[in-house]
Amino acid sequence: PKILTVVGTRPEAIKLFPLIHALRADGRLAARVCATGQHAGMLADVLALAGITPDHDLGLMCAGQSLDRLTARLIEAIGEVLDRERPDVVIVQGDTTSAFAGALAAHYRQIPVAHVEAGLRSGNMHHPWPEEFNRKAIAAVADWHFAPTDAARDALLAENVRRQSVHVTGNTVIDALLWMRARLARQPSLAERMSAIEQACHGRRIIAVTCHRRENLDGGVERIAAALAELASRNDVAIVLPLHPNPSVRSSFLDALSCRDQVHLVEPLGYPDFVRLLDCAHLALTDSGGVQEEAPALGTPVLVMRETTERLEGIAAGTARLVGTDSDRIVAETARLLDDPVAHATMAQAHNPYGDGRASGRIVDVLAAALIA
Ligand code: UDP
């Protein structure tokens, strides 16, 4: 049997490379890979790091493209790949436009769909936009739902998804993180950019920041930048912010923060450097989904700069706090973690609810059992 995995963005590549490794190591199912290029350079970097050469590379991202145009081109181009490859199953991950388009193109051809990281719900159709729609639409056509946690499984069952089609596996991001950390231990030179950045931080405690979501483009980024400017006036912290390529995110941060000492606005970090950053940071401030899952596995507290999150397990476990995008609240919550060692230790030591690093093997076993009679 043949499996085709669709990969579009950096987070999908990070969360799918362990599964592609596991499929190849297992050998029972032929593993083919289609990269859409939704995040051109960052996607290729992660796949190259993991030693994966896509069998199809669609290169579909171009500047200024509307979501309509991107979606239409993705459905058509992935559909052509499916007609040529005729896979037995299509794997998609998460909630991106590539994942939605891959699932829809497979559904139109009646090819079964497996959804990795199924069942995340913020409960609000418009937040996050457009991701919540993509997740629900993929769930509507998927034949296997690989839920990272019990809560994700329950969300699917509450939507009347067939119980036998839902499997709780843990999140493959933990597989990726542990693979990367082991590789870094053998090859520390993979994180040379971070070594240079750490030196420039002069031993101050590091706050790792990422911000890129569409839902924060409407004023959120400016309020976050104002909070960072205020935090940067403390003489005991250094802020490291890898800038997402989105032009409006970049310009807001560059305008507000370029001339601040101890704010390091850097280009997106390769995965090894980013794992090193999260590992050595005192805390993370983020609107990213993946970072909410990775940081607790490294014992780094996370403040989530969004109004809602579909990753409630971390909030419940105490590894993360939802702080919104109000500047004063971000400053106050960050100061608490800097100045109150007990508050920091409580978050750092809380249990990571997102998995044990063996999610990919569980997914391969379920698919192989179903496909090999
Ligand atoms: N990441 C990275 N380099 C960076 C910033 C993030 O490799 O400079 C990784 C991070 O480890 C995480 C993923 O990218 O696994 C998160 O991606 P992003 O924030 O773009 O998307 P989301 O998780 O919100 O879907």
CA distances from 145 to 39, 130, 172, 281, 342 (A): 25, 20, 13, 34, 39
355 CB within 6 A, ligand 1: no
Tell me the pLDDT band of 61, cut-offs 50, 70 and 90. Answer: confident
Contacts of 219 (CB under 8 A, 6+ apart): 325
Contact present, 22 and 360 (Cβ < 8 Å):
yes
* Catalytic residue (choose from 21, 39, 95, 362): 95
The answer on pLDDT for 58 being more than 90 is: yes
Which is nearest to 93 in space by CA: 125, 115, 75, 76?
A: 115
pLDDT mean over 199-204: 95
CA distance 143 to 115: 8
SS3 124: strand
pLDDT tens, position by position, 337-356: 999 999 999 999 999 999 99
Are residues 287 and 326 both part of a single domain? yes
153 lines ligand 1 (CB under 6 A): no
Q: In the predicted model, what is the mean pLDDT of residues 121-135?
A: 84
Minimum mean pLDDT range among 35-44, 110-119, 272-281: 35-44
The residue-averaged pLDDT of 113-125 equals 92
Instruction: With cut-offs at 50, 70 and 90, classify the pLDDT of residue 171.
Output: very high
Whether 52 has a pLDDT exceeding 80, the answer reads yes
What pLDDT sits at residue 5?
98
| DSSP notation for 13-78 | HHHHHHHHHHHHHH-SSEEEEEE--TTHHHHHHHHHHTT---SEE-----TT--HHHHHHHHHHHH
Distance from residue 275's CA to the centre of ligand 1 (Å) = 10
Spatial neighbors of 3 by CB under 8 A, at least 6 apart, are: 23, 29, 30, 31, 32, 87, 88, 89, 90, 91, 114, 367
Is the minimum distance from the CB of 290 to ligand 1 under 6 angstroms? Answer: yes
pLDDT at 258: 87
User: Which of 9, 12, 14 is the best mutation target for the ligand 1 pocket, counting ligand atoms within 8 Å of the beta carbon and taking the most?
Assistant: 14
User: Are residues 170 and 362 in contact, defined by beta-carbon separation less than 8 angstroms?
Assistant: yes
Residues 247 and 138 in one domain: no
CB 319 within 8 A of CB 295: yes
Residues 276 and 336 in one domain: yes
Q: Establish if 178 belongs to a structural domain.
A: no
Is 95 an active-site residue?
Answer: yes
Is the pLDDT assigned to residue 126 strictly greater than 90? Answer: no
- Average pLDDT estimate for 265-283: 96
Active-site entry in 214, 250, 329, 336:
214
Whether residues 159 and 117 share a domain: the answer is yes
Per-residue pLDDT at 260: 86
Do both 132 and 255 map to the same domain? no
User: Residue 56's pLDDT is what?
Assistant: 98
Residue nearest to atom 3 of ligand 1 (CA): 269
- The answer to whether residue 276 sits within a structural domain is yes
The answer to the question of residue 18 being in a domain is yes
One domain for residues 28 and 106: yes
Q: Give the pLDDT of residue 216.
A: 85
Q: Is 344 part of the annotated catalytic residue set?
A: no
- Residue 273: pLDDT band by 50, 70, 90 thresholds? very high
What mean pLDDT do residues 59-88 have? Answer: 94
Distance separating alpha carbons of residues 148 and 358, to the nearest angstrom: 11
Q: What percent of the chain has pLDDT over 70?
A: 100
Q: How far is CA 307 from CA 291, 302, 304, in A?
A: 16, 14, 8
pLDDT at residue 125 is higher than 80: no
Taking residues 129-158, what's their average pLDDT? 96
- Give the three-class secondary structure for 245: coil
For residue 85, tell me if it sits in a domain: yes
Nearest partner of 260 among 285, 241, 246, judged by Cα: 241
Same domain for 117 and 25: yes
Checking if the pLDDT of 124 tops 90, the result is: no
Q: Looking at the structure, tell me whether residues 152 and 21 fall in a common domain.
A: yes
Q: Is 180 exposed, middle or buried (0-12, 13-18, 19+ CB in 10 A)?
A: buried
Same domain, 232 and 279: yes
DSSP secondary structure code for residue 127 in this structure: B
What three-state secondary structure class fits 125? coil
pLDDT at 162: 98
pLDDT at residue number 128: 72
Nearest to 330 by CA among 233, 218, 262, 230: 230
Asked if 275 and 295 count as a contact pair (C-beta separation under 8 A), the reply is no
What is the structure's pLDDT at 184? 96
Cβ of residue 274 lying under 6 Å from some atom of ligand 1: yes
Write the CA distances from 366 to 42, 61, 286, 305, 360, integer angstroms. Answer: 30, 33, 33, 36, 10
Backbone angles phi, psi at 281, to 5 degrees: -75, 150
Domains of the chain: total: 2
The DSSP-derived string for 134-178 is HHHHHHHH-SEEEESSHHHHHHHHHTT--GGGEEE---HHHHHHH
User: Is 335 inside any structural domain?
Assistant: yes
The end-to-end CA distance of the chain, in Å, is 10
Rounded to an integer, the average pLDDT of 183-201 is 95
CB neighbourhood size of 127 (10 A)? 16
Pairing of strands 56-57, 89-93: unpaired
Cβ 279 under 6 angstroms from ligand 1: no
Give the up-direction half-sphere exposure of residue 141: CA atoms within 13 A in the CB hemisphere.
Answer: 24
pLDDT band at 68 (very low <50, low <70, confident <90, very high): very high
210 and 326, same domain (yes or no) = yes
Which residue is catalytic, options 10, 21, 117, 167? 117
42 CA distance to ligand 1 middle (Å): 10
Return the CATH number at 93. 3.40.50.2000
The whole domain housing 122 covers: 2-171+356-371
Q: Across all residues in the chain, what is the average pLDDT?
A: 95
Residues 118 and 42 occupy one common structural domain: yes
Q: Give the phi and the psi of residue 56 in degrees, each rounded to 5.
A: -135, 135
State residue 127's pLDDT score: 72
Which of 193, 212, 213, 264 is catalytic? The answer is: 212
186 inside domain: no
Among candidate residues 246, 176, 201, the one with its CA nearest the CA of residue 17? 176
Is residue 38's pLDDT more than 90?
no
44 falls within a domain: yes
**Count, residues in the chain:** 373
Q: Are 48 and 156 part of one and the same domain?
A: yes
